[in-house]
Amino acid sequence: MKTRVQSGSVALVAFGGNAFTIEGDNYTIENQRAAANAMCEKLLAIIEKGYDLVITHGNGPQVGNLMLQRDLANEQVPPMPLDVLVAQTEGSLGYILQDELLNHLRRHRTGKYVVTMITQVKVDRDDPAFQHLTKPVGPFYSKAEAEQLMLDNPDWQMVEDAGRGYRRIVPSPKPKRIIQSNMIRSLVYSGNVVIAAGGGGIPIIKDENNRYVGVEAVIDKDLTSAMLANDIKADLLIILTGVDKVYLNFGQKDQEGLSNLTYSQAKQYLNEDYFPPGSMGPKIESALQYLENGGRRAIITNAENLEAALGGKTGTHLVWM
């Protein structure tokens, strides 16, 4: 017998841009559709539990590829700024996911529809992130390839990313306000599935004339997801990652899986540097932000174990107390 939640409960699920591929770095449209289809099969478990659903996603690999295309073709095609490239990936990835999910919902006769919301997120124009670049985007390169790319492109900065190779880095300011929050909340509480804040949302600031304008940056999608979950009063925040649960000393002989964490426990482990900033750190930080601002429960797990985690059989479950 399937466990269902109270009618009107909302879940927000966040997953990375790498979820749009199933064969390494092969980002063909066929590959991305196949990966989105597989992800949608997992997402149905949330709807079947009785939740209304908001989906957020990353765009690091895809926006990095657009940046590469832009830089290679800048003499033939007018280059677009990074905020426009984020908007392009919001639209393209949203379309792929919306298409696949709508077909799943029709086959299961849910009566639900899917909408993709191009989402603008206000950031602080004086955020130190604009001077200290941290956000990896785009494909992975060897050290030799990265050094050559930086020689060929003096304005590029590249760093080693979690042992997987070198990637280009861009500014990543913290989100301050999600402009379309009320619209997203209205849509999901009307029974629609909403795809929003793709890639962390389009970063905007207010200029000297009090007008919204885009800026060259990529916002961390987990931090935006936590903010959006609070804004729409989501009952559950799910952050999908590459492992079944959070671990202490991950990858070492004494690694320890964590099934349940209170806010204070997770905060202590974060402060003691158990969760690296380029890996699990931002996900823990986002879950803590969600709980700090009135969130009820957060789950960190991978897509393969999503249904089991919803049933409490795996994943890391975070609560205030």
Count of Cβ atoms closer than 10 Å to residue 22 Cβ? 15
pLDDT band at 7 (very low <50, low <70, confident <90, very high): low
* C-alpha to C-alpha distance for 250 and 257, rounded to whole angstroms: 8
In this structure, the strands spanning 114-117 and 212-214 are unpaired
Residue 6 has pLDDT above 70, yes or no: no
pLDDT band at 306 (very low <50, low <70, confident <90, very high): very high
Q: What is the mean pLDDT of the chain?
A: 91
- Global confidence as pTM: 0.91
pLDDT band at 1 (very low <50, low <70, confident <90, very high): very low
Which amino acid makes up residue 94? G
The pLDDT, as a whole number, for residue 3 is 52
Which segment of 31-35, 221-225, 237-241 scores lowest on mean pLDDT?
A: 31-35
Q: Which residues pair with 193 in a beta bridge?
A: 114
Please list the active-site residues. 17-18, 135, 221, 283
Architecture of the domain delimited by 10-117+185-201+218-319: 3-Layer(aba) Sandwich (3.40)
Residue 4 has pLDDT above 70, yes or no: no
Find, among 201, 275, 262, the residue nearest to 231 by Cα. 201
